[in-house]
A and B are shown apart, each in its own frame.
Chain A
Amino acid sequence: MIKILIVEDEKPIADLLDMSLTAAGYRCECLHDGMAAARALEENRYDLVLLDVMLPGVDGFALMEWLAPTDTPAIFITARGAVSDRIKGLKLGADDYIVKPFEIAELLARVESVLRRCHKTDSRLTLDDVVVDTQSHTVTKGGVPVSLTAKEYSLLLLFLQNKNAALFRETIYERVWGGDFMGDSRTVDLHVQRLRKKLDWGDRITAVYKVGYRLEVEE
Chain B
Amino acid sequence: MKFAWKVTLSALCVLVLTTGLGSWLLISLSFQSSLDREIAVAREELEMLRISYEAVCDARGVTLENMSDRGGGLRRVLAGDPYFSGQTFRIAGTGGDLYSTLSSPGDDALLDQVDAASSGYAIRRDGDQVLIHCAGPAALPDGVVYIETERDISQIFADRAFHFRVYRWILLAAAGLGCCAMYLLSRWLTRPIRDLGAAAQALAGGDYASRAAVSGGDEIADLDTSFNHMADAIEKNVQDLADAARRQEDFTASFVHELKTPLTSIIGYADMLRSRHLTEEQRLKAAGYIFSEGRRLEHLSLSLLDLLVTGRGCAEAKSVDMEDLCVRAADVCRPAMEARGVKLFVRAEAGAVQGDGALLQTLAQNLLDNARKASSPGGAVALEGHALPDGRYELSVSDRGRGIPAEELDKITEPFYMVDKSRARAQGGAGLGLALCQKIAQLHGGALRFESKEGVGTQVTVDLGGVAHD
Could you list which residues of chain A lie within 8 angstroms of chain B, going by C-beta atoms?
9-10, 12-13, 15-16, 19-20, 23, 32, 54, 56, 79-80, 100-105, 162, 164-168, 171, 211
Contacts of B268 in A (CB 8 A): 13, 16, 20, 101-104
**Interface membership of B427, Cβ < 8 A:** no
Contacts of A15 in B (CB 8 A): 285, 289
**Interface membership of B253, Cβ < 8 A:** yes
Contacts of B269 in A (CB 8 A): 12, 16
**Interface membership of B333, Cβ < 8 A:** no
Judge whether B264 and A101 touch: CB under 8 Å. Answer: yes
Judge whether B256 and A103 touch: CB under 8 Å. Answer: no
Judge whether B272 and A100 touch: CB under 8 Å. Answer: no
Known pairs A15-B285, A56-B421; A102 contacts B264 (CB<8 A): yes
Q: How far is the CA of A162 from the CA of B275 in the complex (A)?
A: 9
Besides A13-B264, A15-B289, 6 other CB < 8 A contacts? A12-B262, A12-B293, A101-B263, A103-B267, A104-B276, A105-B271
- Chain B, interface size: which category? 20 to 34
Binary interface profile of B, 372-394, with partner A (CB < 8 Å = 1, else 0)?
00000000000000000000000
Known pairs A54-B257, A56-B421, A80-B256; A16 contacts B275 (CB<8 A): no
Q: How far is the CB of B252 from chain A (nearest CB, A)?
A: 10
Q: Tell me the dominant secondary structure on chain B's binding face.
A: helix
Contacts of A100 in B (CB 8 A): 260-261, 263-264
Known pairs A12-B265, A16-B268; A80 contacts B282 (CB<8 A): no
Q: Which of B177-202 contact A (CB under 8 A)?
A: none
**Interface membership of B292, Cβ < 8 A:** yes
Contacts of B274 in A (CB 8 A): 166, 168, 211
Q: How far is the CB of A143 from chain B (nearest CB, A)?
A: 32
Contacts of A171 in B (CB 8 A): 275
Q: How far is the CA of A181 from the CA of B271 in the complex (A)?
A: 16
Q: Which interface residue of B265, B267, B286 has the most chain A CB atoms within 10 A?
A: B265
Known pairs A12-B293, A101-B267; A23 contacts B261 (CB<8 A): no
Q: How far is the CA of A165 from the CA of B271 in the complex (A)?
A: 10
Judge whether A32 and B422 touch: CB under 8 Å. Answer: yes
**Interface membership of B328, Cβ < 8 A:** no
From B253, B264, B425, give the contact of A16 (CB < 8 A): B264
Judge whether B264 and A165 touch: CB under 8 Å. Answer: no
From B267, B275, B422, give the contact of A56 (CB < 8 A): B422
Binary interface profile of B, 241-270, with partner A (CB < 8 Å = 1, else 0)?
000000000000100110111111111110
Q: How far is the CA of A80 from the CA of B249 in the complex (A)?
A: 12
Contacts of B282 in A (CB 8 A): 19
Q: How far is the CA of A166 from the CA of B276 in the complex (A)?
A: 6
Known pairs A12-B293, A16-B268, A19-B282; A79 contacts B261 (CB<8 A): yes
Shortest 10 CB-CB contacts between residues of A and residues of B: A79-B260, A101-B264, A12-B265, A100-B264, A16-B268, A166-B275, A101-B267, A79-B257, A100-B260, A165-B275
Judge whether B292 and A12 touch: CB under 8 Å. Answer: yes
Judge whether A13 and B272 touch: CB under 8 Å. Answer: no
Q: How far is the CB of B275 from chain A (nearest CB, A)?
A: 4
Contacts of A20 in B (CB 8 A): 268, 272, 276
Judge whether B261 and A19 touch: CB under 8 Å. Answer: no
**Interface membership of B469, Cβ < 8 A:** no
Contacts of A80 in B (CB 8 A): 253, 256-257
Contacts of B272 in A (CB 8 A): 16, 19-20, 104
Q: How far is the CA of A16 from the CA of B273 in the complex (A)?
A: 11
From B271, B285, B292, give the contact of A103 (CB < 8 A): B271
Q: How far is the CA of A211 from the CA of B266 in the complex (A)?
A: 20
Known pairs A13-B268, A16-B268; A164 contacts B293 (CB<8 A): no
Q: How far is the CB of B305 from chain A (nearest CB, A)?
A: 21
Q: How far is the CB of B373 from chain A (nearest CB, A)?
A: 18
Q: How far is the CB of B379 from chain A (nearest CB, A)?
A: 25
Contacts of A162 in B (CB 8 A): 275
Contacts of B266 in A (CB 8 A): 101
Contacts of A104 in B (CB 8 A): 268, 271-272, 275-276
Judge whether B289 and A12 touch: CB under 8 Å. Answer: yes
- What residue in chain B is nearest A103 (Cβ atoms)? B271
Judge whether A16 and B289 touch: CB under 8 Å. Answer: yes
Q: How far is the CB of B255 from chain A (nearest CB, A)?
A: 10
Q: How far is the CA of A80 from the CA of B257 in the complex (A)?
A: 7
- What residue in chain B is nearest A99 (Cβ atoms)? B260
Judge whether A10 and B261 touch: CB under 8 Å. Answer: yes
Q: How far is the CA of A48 from the CA of B136 in the complex (A)?
A: 135
**Interface membership of B277, Cβ < 8 A:** yes
Q: How far is the CA of A165 from the CA of B274 in the complex (A)?
A: 9
Known pairs A15-B285, A15-B289, A54-B257; A10 contacts B276 (CB<8 A): no
A-B contact pairs, 19 of them (CB 8 A): A10-B261, A10-B425, A12-B269, A12-B292, A12-B293, A16-B268, A16-B269, A79-B257, A80-B256, A101-B260, A101-B263, A101-B266, A101-B267, A101-B268, A104-B268, A105-B275, A165-B276, A166-B275, A168-B274
Contacts of B257 in A (CB 8 A): 54, 79-80
From B256, B286, B421, give the contact of A79 (CB < 8 A): B256
Known pairs A20-B272, A103-B271; A13 contacts B285 (CB<8 A): no
